[in-house]
Chains A and B, each alone.
Chain A
Amino acid sequence: MASPAPAPALIVEAPPSRLARFLDSDLLANFRRSKLAIAAFLATVLFIALALLAPVISPQNPYDPAQLELINASLPPLWYADGQAPFLIGTDDQGRDVLSAVFYGMRLSLLVGVLGVLLSGFIGIGLGLIAGYAGGWVDTIIMRVADVQLTFPAILIALIVDGVAKAVAGGHMEANAQIALIVVAIGLSFWVQYARTVRGSVMVEKNKDYVQAGRLIGLSAPVILTRHILPNVTGPVFVIATINLALAIITEATLSFLGTGLPETMPSLGTLIRTGNRFLFSGEWWIVAFPGFALAGLVLAINLLGDWLRDALNPKLQ
């Protein structure tokens, strides 16, 4: 009996752990070299930390009417002569601490943004996988719907969804239901980009031989899609998700600013800007300016991070 080919000269070493491989990756090296990426990352982490820790670090709970004192209404920031501790950046017309409102608002904005991105990602990735793998008329229908939707601005879709739902609900809605509604509105407006990207990647991957090898051992389409194809198309999805998080936060803020978003009893950054807007001409600029700064800073940081991620994952663009 002939012996098989001699074993290739292979140094059998302990395979590197996931962490070790990450620490050694080009992505991390690229990150370390990019000062902008590090700054954006730190800023994003700071914003998220502030949002998560809002109940701990805020001087008051802006949602609790019992904590609001009208005596403290419309106080300017501390560095003004009229400023009063603990209201670092002043209070609004109801005596609500602006800093606390910003922290809590950011929390809501991020929550809605993240949930919206998750929902749109779920819809988009699912439809993209199906369209790309099935092809034919299934693909045609899904992608035509996507094309049509792309001809409307996302904000318009969100407004329509919001309007229809509110009409059906008959005008009055619980605050939590409103959050859910806005998440759905955002989810339905942003799925197209995921679907298109994923579909494109799937069409490339499905013809690769490892997928054919899976078919040869009789794996079903859902198994091949989730086990083999999905993990190999997630790279671009992360980039879209990061950039879309910023977009989703902006969309929520816009909806809230237009008055169809979150209620004043549970203000997000957008709601704060809308309510604060009324005081801009009476000189109480801090009520609107600080939520505005927070929104701009948050969105900018996430966007810069997303841009860097896109460039780092796509060497062709460099």
Chain B
Amino acid sequence: MTQPVLSVRDLRVEFATRRGVLTALDGVSFEIARGEVLGVVGESGAGKSVTGSAVIGLIDPPGRIAGGEILLNGERIDNLSPEAMRKVRGKRIGMIFQDPLTSLNPLYRVGRQIEETIRTHTDLSAKAARQRAIDLLAEVGIPAPERRIDGFPHEFSGGMRQRVVIALALAAEPELIIADEPTTALDVSVQAQIITLLKRLGRDHGTAVMLITHDMGVIAEAADRVAVMYAGRVAEIGPVAALVGDPLHPYAKGLMGAIPSLSHEADRLAQIPGAMPRLSAIPPGCAFNPRCPKVFARCTVDRPEPLVVGSHRVACHLYDASGQAAA
């Protein structure tokens, strides 16, 4: 098997607060291959954005990576100096955030920002960098890029701005792109355009994409594999069709049933009682046990470790052959 682009092993992130240490991520492991889109899905507080921040080395104090390792093409990047990490961020990992305005400097023409990124990370001449920027803008679907390259961010619409951000993220030909809720701020009709673009570019450039979102619909369409996170842990990870069609973890099952669908009518949506626990009150054992319809004694004591079940990897005692009979 070829080496994955990103490999996260047993990642643990803690935040020291006045009221004690909060564990935001606990034993998170996953891999992303070349050209693959991994969807990371979860509700607010699940730790999906913290995972993204950890990978790009942007966990600010009082938070810290307290354990595990992050490997980018086989090299550890979680213990790099801030200076070295900054180079990795621009060059080897591209970033796309929810609000395109936060990634673009409003005072610079968009072309200048893309050219700067290109020239910082490659040895292209100014002229070649400009040509490359125009090509990138064309590639992300901006009409008349030769002209638009000299526009300011505020002259672009929301969807077009997000395209510029994608071009910016691609500028240094990164190995990995982290997209944190890239479509959440956009209108439905524009969302689809951005998802399609992201998916195509990942494939064409052989870039690994980590797509973080709360929207299962977006994941279903864009991702190759999905990781479902809950309370700072990965509950289940597997190929998108398998996970959407046949989720194993009771939380993943509940989540899929809770989403109203366009294609069929349900009289009642499946609902998971309660809400995600606060970080300060994560229950012992399996974090999902107070909300789980299939909870049994062991769940409240033992923390489930990820088990390989078919094409899935699921952290649930129901699938532990040595334990209780599967329900």
B:260-313 near A, CB below 8 Å: 271, 273-275, 290-291
What separation, in Å, do the CA atoms of A6 and B271 have in the docked complex? Answer: 10
A29, CB-defined interface residue at 8 Å: yes
| Contact (Cβ within 8 A) A9 B273 | yes
User: 8 nearest interchain CB pairs?
Assistant: A9-B274, A8-B274, A9-B290, A6-B273, A29-B18, A8-B273, A9-B273, A8-B275
A5, CB-defined interface residue at 8 Å: yes
Q: How many residues of A contact B (CB 8 A)?
A: 6
* Residue of A6, A9, A29 with highest tally of chain B CB at under 10 A: A9
B269 to chain A, nearest CB (A): 11
B284 to chain A, nearest CB (A): 15
B273 nearest CB neighbor, chain A only = A6
What separation, in Å, do the CA atoms of A9 and B271 have in the docked complex? Answer: 13
Please give, as numbers and ranges, the residues of chain B lying within 8 Å of A29 by CB-CB distance.
Answer: 18
A2 to chain B, nearest CB (A): 9
A:13-72 near B, CB below 8 Å: 26, 29
A:191-209 near B, CB below 8 Å: none
| Contact (Cβ within 8 A) B291 A9 | yes
B294 to chain A, nearest CB (A): 16
Please give, as numbers and ranges, the residues of chain B lying within 8 Å of A5 by CB-CB distance.
Answer: 271, 273
A8 nearest CB neighbor, chain B only = B274
A9-B274, A29-B18 given; 10 more Cβ-contact pairs under 8 Å = A5-B271, A5-B273, A6-B273, A8-B273, A8-B274, A8-B275, A9-B273, A9-B290, A9-B291, A26-B18
What separation, in Å, do the CA atoms of A26 and B19 have in the docked complex? Answer: 10
B289 to chain A, nearest CB (A): 11
A29 nearest CB neighbor, chain B only = B18
What separation, in Å, do the CA atoms of A307 and B18 have in the docked complex? Answer: 23
Can you list 12 contacts pairing A with B, beta carbon distance less than 8 Å? A5-B271, A5-B273, A6-B273, A8-B273, A8-B274, A8-B275, A9-B273, A9-B274, A9-B290, A9-B291, A26-B18, A29-B18
Please give, as numbers and ranges, the residues of chain A lying within 8 Å of B291 by CB-CB distance.
Answer: 9
B191 to chain A, nearest CB (A): 26
Please give, as numbers and ranges, the residues of chain B lying within 8 Å of A6 by CB-CB distance.
Answer: 273
B250 to chain A, nearest CB (A): 15
Please give, as numbers and ranges, the residues of chain A lying within 8 Å of B274 by CB-CB distance.
Answer: 8-9
B109 to chain A, nearest CB (A): 29
A6 nearest CB neighbor, chain B only = B273
What separation, in Å, do the CA atoms of A6 and B274 have in the docked complex? Answer: 9
What separation, in Å, do the CA atoms of A5 and B268 have in the docked complex? Answer: 11
B119 to chain A, nearest CB (A): 34
Please give, as numbers and ranges, the residues of chain A lying within 8 Å of B290 by CB-CB distance.
Answer: 9
B290 nearest CB neighbor, chain A only = A9
What separation, in Å, do the CA atoms of A8 and B275 have in the docked complex? Answer: 8
A10 nearest CB neighbor, chain B only = B274
B19 nearest CB neighbor, chain A only = A24
What separation, in Å, do the CA atoms of A190 and B213 have in the docked complex? Answer: 50
Please give, as numbers and ranges, the residues of chain B lying within 8 Å of A9 by CB-CB distance.
Answer: 273-274, 290-291
A10 to chain B, nearest CB (A): 8
B26 to chain A, nearest CB (A): 21
A5 nearest CB neighbor, chain B only = B271
Please give, as numbers and ranges, the residues of chain A lying within 8 Å of B275 by CB-CB distance.
Answer: 8
A7 nearest CB neighbor, chain B only = B273
